[in-house]
């Protein structure tokens, strides 16, 4: 390549279509659009849920109906019409008891296109996958291996049927129904999601993984993840999301609850590349997610996320550091391009003594996108010797995008040590010149610099994901750097 | 009666005393309407998340001074920087005291807002600048509605003020709890220079609530140095709204020394409307007791090649609360902007609180912007080092605090003022470290 100018790069990026934008023609069992108490009851009935769960959902629906949609985030979008969404869409042939071999071959082909062939994963990567397509879990792999260790890893609907005592105890304990508008909505209408329980002292031998994908048009995805790590256990959990291209905006309002009991450790990694809308900013997914984890004594929760998709992202994976010596970590790369908007960050609530938190957030904005970091570090009066380190760096590419930082730091204890720093800059001409001078062309130089910029976070991803994440960064950013 | 209703209903009486033929009259009426709509800010507003005025506005304040009080210079000398040759504009309970003041119309205008608003020869300046820099919210609208007195400073082209100007507001408590609403206008034309020191002082134990608005206009190459000393009694509250508009190559700095007051809220806003501008915002906050200081800053970079520097240091003891809410906006046109913001805090007590919210909103790509925020304690090993060399703990702590705040203290350009500030800090910490910084 002789001359690859900034304009060429931009052009290439703009014309780059969403690679995962295909639509699988699977017969779906879809509810008519609209939401009322009957729909909530119908979902519950459809899923054959016990009475307590139905009541819980209806209660959440009543709370939701009285709430107003929040407006404080630094994003602009047309509010979704909640009556124009179908709240249940299941691939028709889904049957909870079937084995992997029975899965609709067309669906399997979808996964293959996504590069997550179950077969392949099963054999090669040793990753157990709980696949959610349009809200209903289709196949769960490696169940047997996990069963031997006493690990429960299944869809949440299955868990409601088979482990009601665990679900009842923990669901809504970290993200209550009343928490916020979208959490309440999710509590009322969630159709599926994953449930995971790691027993005392067990170290989960493999990475657990869920792949979410929005398929049916006009459906919202409301999945619910509940992950409980009992005393002294360890689990690493991966979550990946893609959605086909669609013109209308699709709503994704998930809730993730993590519970790390004493001495437990949870590592939760997300790669999110929901359809971001096309280059005119049309379509794309609204990603309004509530993620929160609770750390008991000596427990550790680590959130790692690579966000490259969604038209509007609005999420704050948080840690409540309740126990003494608990640790919360947040590593994030958020990439926005074209008309994408992201308002993301974390909350670290220090309640326990000697609790520690680390926040590393890297924002990359290109095109006409807006990328915001919004975070809270709160040290309660009893959290002695609490320690926080936060670093938020933004990289701007092109002069039509924006990068914003809204950190909230609240300290109520004199022994707290908090450091926060943020920088915003573009890729320096001198850096590129330095590379050029040594025979590295501009495009490669930019890739090198972006990679270096995000390295701290990429390093935190499990191997299987790191490769994919790097690929995603390339897809989202290739050519947008000036 | 709620303070808001009281203010709204006394507006007519207030208007009756001022010249209704004046164009300012219309501005006042509009502003009152806005205030009625906005009301006092509440914690529901994002910008007021950490500061509530409820405890103040429930008091019954007298809105207009009824009795005039004369003060003798020797009684209040200690509140002046008396060894500094300066112009002085002094107000007692919001009323101008010609006895204590020293104004001028020689080359520059250092006088009263009331005369500037009523006399024809100031009309050209008032018409162009009055109420143009300020951005309207509940507090500023209220001030605009009731504004009639304050400092008026006009520095014409190619002129430097020959000496600094001290603006001092005394309150005597003779009318009981009082609400004051001073309004200052400072216009510096191209290539001019001025230094201003402002202080609010309550002489009684009565409650005082000051809602002050200062508009500053800096023309091309103008230099403004503004020092605010906030070391008031713990029955005094202050909402200070300062708005600065800067043009090409001008340099404006505002230094805020917040050492006391029940609730102090500083709304400090800089609008950069030219190139090559530098805005400097410095602050030292040292609090104890139940005092509360909220620094709310905004720097809006609208044109390329400008800089801004913010440096706020805070030391909080006992039950005090410190808030820093800094915002930097870099518009799309403002390429090559360098904007820096730093907020460092030390907590000395478990009951003290710091809330910090340093924000960046950046729409241009070729910029260097950064902010840093830290909260921590005095270094135990440094204290031990000094104590092992015979320095008492109180002095050792004070030394560390001086060192911590030194960056900002160093930036004070008037030696007499620097000495004064060091003395205030030494008194506060109850030490005599025996050297000047």
Q: What is the ipTM of this complex?
A: 0.81
Chain B residue at shortest CA distance from A419: B374
Chain B residue nearest residue A428, CA to CA = B366
Q: State residue A129's pLDDT score.
A: 55
- The pLDDT assigned to A240 comes to 73
Q: String of b and e for A195-216 (b: at least 16 CB within 10 Å)?
A: bbbbbeebebebbbbbbbbbbb
Contact A442, A401 (CB under 8 A): no
Q: Name which of A39-48, B126-135, B216-225, B341-350 the model is least confident about.
A: A39-48
- The answer on pLDDT for B238 being more than 90 is yes
User: B309 vs chain A: nearest CA distance in angstroms?
Assistant: 14
- pLDDT (tens digit, 0 to 9) for every residue of chain A, 482 residues total? 344 555 655 555 455 555 555 555 555 566 777 788 888 888 888 888 899 999 999 999 999 988 888 888 777 887 778 887 777 765 544 344 444 455 555 555 555 555 544 544 443 344 455 555 554 554 455 667 778 889 888 888 888 988 999 999 999 999 998 888 989 999 998 877 888 999 999 998 877 877 655 555 555 678 889 999 999 999 998 887 665 555 556 788 889 999 999 999 999 988 887 777 777 777 778 888 899 999 999 999 999 988 887 888 888 999 999 999 999 999 998 888 888 889 999 999 999 999 999 999 999 888 888 899 999 999 999 999 999 999 999 988 877 888 998 999 999 998 999 999 888 888 778 888 999 999 988 877 877 888 888 888 888 877 767 777 776 676 666 555 44
Quick one: which of A373, A453, A365, A427 has its CA closest to A402?
A365
- Encode chain A in three state secondary structure: CCCCCHHHHHHHHHHCCCCCCCCCCCCEEECCCCCCHHHHHHHHHHCCCCHHHHHHHHHHHHHHHCCCCCCCCCCCCCCCCHHHCECCEEECCCCCCCCHHHCCHHHHHHHHHCCCCHHHHHHHHCCEEEEEECCEEEEECCHHHHHHHCCEEEEHHHHHHHCHHHHHHHCCCCCCCCCCHHHHHHHHHCCECEEEEECCCCECCCCEEEEEECCCCCECECEEEEEEECCCCEEEEEEEEECCCCCCEEEECCEEEEEECCCCEEEEEEEEECCCCCCCCCCEEEEEEEEEEEECCCCEEEEEEEECCCCEEEECCEEEECCCCCEEEEEEEEEECCCCEEEECCEEEECCCCCEEEEEEEEEECCCCEEEEEEEEEECCCCCCCEEEEEEEEEECCCCCEEEEEEEEEECCCCCEEEEEEEEEECCHHHHHHHHHCCCCHHHHHHHHHHHHHHHHHCCCCHHHHHHHHHHHHHHHCCCCC
What was the pLDDT predicted at A425?
82
Cβ-based burial of B418 (10 A; exposed 0-12, middle 13-18, buried ≥19): middle
Mean of all residue pLDDT scores within chain B:
91
Q: CA-CA distance, B297 to B371, in Å (whole number)?
A: 13
With CB atoms and an 8 Å threshold, state whether B358 touches A420.
yes
Residues 6 or more apart in contact with residue A84 via CB below 8 angstroms: A33, A34, A218
Per-residue pLDDT, averaged over B304-313, amounts to 95
- CB distance B256 to B230 below 8 Å: yes
Predicted pLDDT of residue A44: 87
A452-461, B88-97, B388-397 — which is least confidently predicted? A452-461
What are the chain B neighbours of A481 within 8 Å (beta carbons)? none
pLDDT of the residue at A94: 39
Beta carbons within 8 Å of A341's beta carbon, 6+ residues apart? A74, A75, A76, A77, A311, A312, A313, A369, A370, A371
From chain B, the residues in CB contact with A418 under 8 A are 373-376
Three state DSSP letters for B403-414: HHHHHHHHCCCC
Residues from chain A that touch B374, judged by Cβ atoms under 8 A, are: 417-420
Joined tokens for residue A190: 């969630």
Query: What tokens does A108 get?
Result: 């399997």
Q: What is the mean pLDDT of residues B255-259?
A: 95
Residue (of A101, A2, A100, A87) closest to A45 by Cα position: A87
A137 and A161 Cβ atoms separated by less than 8 Å = no
C-alpha to C-alpha distance for A345 and A315, rounded to whole angstroms: 7
Q: Using 50, 70 and 90 to split pLDDT, how confident is the model at B267?
A: very high
* C-beta atoms of A394 and B362 within 8 A: yes
Chain B hits for A400, Cβ within 8 Å: 332
Say if the Cβ atoms of B365 and A418 lie within 8 Å: no
Q: What is the pLDDT of residue B269?
A: 96
Q: A184 CA to chain B: closest CA distance, Å?
A: 22
pTM > 0.80: yes
pLDDT value of residue A331: 93
Tokens 């609400």: give the residue.
Answer: B179
When scoring B320, B362, B366 by the number of chain A Cβ atoms within 10 A, the one with the most, hence best to mutate, is B362
Both tokens of residue B311?
A: 């440096």
For residue A389, list its beta bridge partners: A358, A419
Nearest to A405 among B332, B360, B376 (CB): B360
> Which pLDDT does position B14 carry in this prediction?
84
Q: Which residues of A touch B366 (CB under 8 A)?
A: 399, 426
Q: Are A321 and A355 in contact (CB under 8 A)?
A: yes
Closest-CA distance of chain B to residue A57, Å: 31
Written as six digits, the tokens of B139 are 């507090």
Q: Which of A202-211, B37-46, B174-183 has the lowest mean pLDDT?
A: A202-211
Return the residue of A nearest to B355 by Cα. Answer: A410
Whether the CB-CB separation of B306 and B329 falls below 8 Å is answered with no
Q: Rounded to whole angstroms, how far apart are CA atoms B237 and B263?
A: 5
CB pairs under 8 A between A and B: 118
Burial call A438-474: b when 16+ CB within 10 Å, e when fewer: eeeebbebbbebbeebbeebbebbbebbbebbeebbe
Q: What confidence category does residue B226 fall into, taking pLDDT thresholds of 50, 70 and 90?
A: very high
Return the pLDDT at B194: 96
Residue A367 region, left (φ>0) first, then alpha (ψ -120 to 50), else beta?
Answer: left
Q: List the beta bridge partners of residue A130.
A: A140, A210
Query: Hey, are the CB atoms on A421 and B365 less than 8 Å from each other?
Result: no
Tell me whether residues B358 and A401 touch, CB distance under 8 A: no
Chain B residues contacting A via beta carbons under 8 Å: 46, 332, 335, 345, 347-377
Q: Which residues pair with B179 in a beta bridge?
A: B209
Q: What angle do CA B358, B362, B368 make, to 5 degrees?
A: 85
- Cα–Cα distance, A265 to A287 (Å, whole number): 27
Query: What per-residue confidence (pLDDT) applies to A15?
Result: 52
Task: Please give the pLDDT value at position B1.
Answer: 60
Output the pLDDT for position A138. 44
Q: Is the dihedral of CA B8, B12, B14, B18 positive or negative?
A: positive
């Amino acid at each position: 390549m002789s001359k690859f100018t900034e304009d060429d790069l931009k052009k290439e990026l703009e014309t780059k279509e969403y690679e995962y934008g295909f639509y699988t023609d699977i017969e779906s069992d879809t509810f008519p659009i609209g939401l009322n108490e009957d729909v909530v009851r119908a979902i519950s009935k459809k899923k054959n849920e016990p009475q307590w769960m139905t009541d819980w959902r209806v209660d959440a629906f009543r709370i939701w109906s009285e709430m107003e949609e929040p407006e404080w985030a630094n994003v602009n979008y047309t509010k979704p019409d909640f009556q124009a969404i179908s709240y249940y869409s299941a691939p028709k042939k889904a049957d909870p008891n079937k084995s992997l071999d029975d899965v609709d071959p067309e669906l399997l082909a979808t996964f293959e296109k996504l590069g997550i062939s179950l077969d392949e994963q099963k054999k090669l990567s040793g990753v157990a996958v709980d696949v959610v397509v349009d809200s209903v879990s289709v196949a769960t792999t490696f169940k047997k291996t996990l069963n031997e260790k006493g690990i429960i890893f299944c869809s949440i609907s299955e868990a409601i049927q088979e482990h009601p005592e665990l679900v009842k105890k923990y669901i809504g304990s970290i993200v209550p129904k009343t928490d916020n508008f979208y959490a309440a909505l999710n509590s009322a209408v969630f159709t599926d999601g994953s449930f995971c329980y790691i027993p005392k002292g067990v170290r989960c031998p493999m990475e657990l993984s869920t792949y979410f994908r929005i398929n049916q048009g006009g459906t919202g995805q409301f999945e619910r993840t509940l992950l409980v790590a009992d005393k002294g256990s360890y689990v690493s959990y991966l979550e990946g999301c893609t959605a086909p291209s669609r013109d209308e905006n699709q709503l994704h309002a998930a809730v993730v609850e993590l519970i790390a009991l004493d001495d437990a450790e949870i590592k939760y990694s997300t790669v999110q590349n929901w359809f971001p809308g096309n280059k005119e900013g049309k379509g794309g997914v609204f990603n309004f997610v509530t993620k929160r984890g609770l750390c008991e004594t000596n427990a550790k929760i680590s959130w790692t996320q690579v966000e490259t998709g969604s038209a509007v992202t609005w999420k704050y994976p948080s840690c409540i550091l309740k126990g003494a010596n608990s640790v919360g970590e947040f590593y994030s790369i958020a990439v926005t391009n074209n008309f994408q908007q992201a308002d993301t960050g974390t909350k670290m609530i220090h309640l326990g003594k000697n609790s520690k938190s680390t926040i590393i957030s890297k924002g990359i904005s290109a095109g006409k996108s807006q990328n915001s970091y919004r975070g809270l570090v709160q040290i309660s009066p009893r959290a002695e010797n609490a320690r926080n380190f936060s670093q938020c760096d933004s990289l701007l590419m092109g002069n039509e995008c924006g990068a914003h930082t809204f950190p909230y730091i609240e300290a109520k204890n004199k022994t707290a040590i908090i450091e926060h720093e943020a920088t915003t800059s573009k890729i320096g001409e001198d850096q590129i010149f330095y590379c050029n001078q040594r025979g590295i062309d501009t495009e490669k130089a930019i890739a090198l610099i972006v990679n270096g910029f995000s390295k701290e976070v990429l390093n935190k991803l499990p191997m299987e994901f790191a490769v994919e994440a790097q690929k995603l960064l390339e897809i989202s950013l290739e050519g947008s750097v000036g | 009666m709620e303070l808001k209703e009281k203010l709204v209903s006394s507006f007519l009486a207030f208007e009756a005393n001022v010249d209704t033929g004046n164009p300012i009259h219309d501005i006042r009426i509009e502003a009152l309407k806005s205030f009625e709509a906005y009301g006092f800010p509440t914690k529901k507003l994002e910008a007021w998340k950490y500061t509530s005025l409820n405890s103040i506005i429930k008091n019954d304040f007298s809105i207009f001074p009824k009795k005039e009080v004369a003060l003798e210079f020797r009684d209040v000398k200690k509140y002046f920087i008396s060894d500094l040759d300066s112009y002085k504009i002094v107000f007692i309970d919001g009323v101008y005291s010609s006895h204590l003041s020293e104004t001028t119309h020689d080359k520059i205008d250092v006088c009263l807002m009331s005369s500037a608003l009523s006399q024809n020869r100031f009309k050209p300046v008032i018409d162009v600048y009055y109420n143009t820099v300020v951005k309207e919210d509940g507090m500023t609208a209220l001030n605009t509605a009731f504004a009639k007195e304050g400092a008026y400073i006009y520095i014409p082209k190619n002129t430097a003020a020959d000496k600094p100007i001290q603006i001092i507001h005394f309150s005597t408590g003779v009318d009981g709890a009082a609400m004051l609403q001073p309004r200052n206008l400072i216009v510096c034309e191209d290539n001019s220079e001025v230094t201003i020191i402002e202080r609010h002082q309550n002489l009684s134990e009565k409650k005082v609530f000051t809602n002050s608005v200062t508009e500053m206009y800096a023309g091309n190459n103008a230099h403004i140095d503004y020092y605010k000393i906030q070391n008031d009694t713990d029955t005094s509250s202050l909402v200070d709204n300062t708005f600065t508009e800067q043009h090409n190559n001008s340099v404006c700095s505002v230094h805020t020394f917040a050492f006391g007051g029940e609730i102090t809220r500083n709304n400090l806003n800089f609008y950069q409307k030219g190139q090559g501008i530098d805005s400097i915002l410095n602050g030292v906050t040292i609090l104890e007791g139940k005092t509360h200081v909220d620094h709310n800053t905004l720097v809006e970079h609208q044109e390329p090649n400008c800089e801004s520097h913010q440096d706020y240091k805070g030391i909080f003891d006992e039950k005090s609360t410190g808030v820093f809410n800094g915002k930097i906006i870099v518009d799309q046109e403002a390429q090559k902007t360098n904007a820096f913001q730093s907020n460092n805090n030390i907590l000395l007590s478990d009951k003290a609180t710091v809330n910090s919210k340093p924000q960046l909103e950046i729409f241009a790509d070729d910029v260097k912007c950064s902010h840093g925020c830290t909260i921590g304690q005095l270094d135990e090993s440094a204290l031990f080092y000094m104590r092992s060399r015979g320095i008492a703990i109180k002095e050792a702590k004070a030394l560390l605090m001086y060192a911590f705040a030194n960056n900002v203290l160093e930036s004070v350009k008037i030696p007499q003022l620097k000495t004064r500030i060091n003395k205030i800090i030494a008194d506060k910490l109850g030490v005599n470290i025996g050297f000047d910084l």
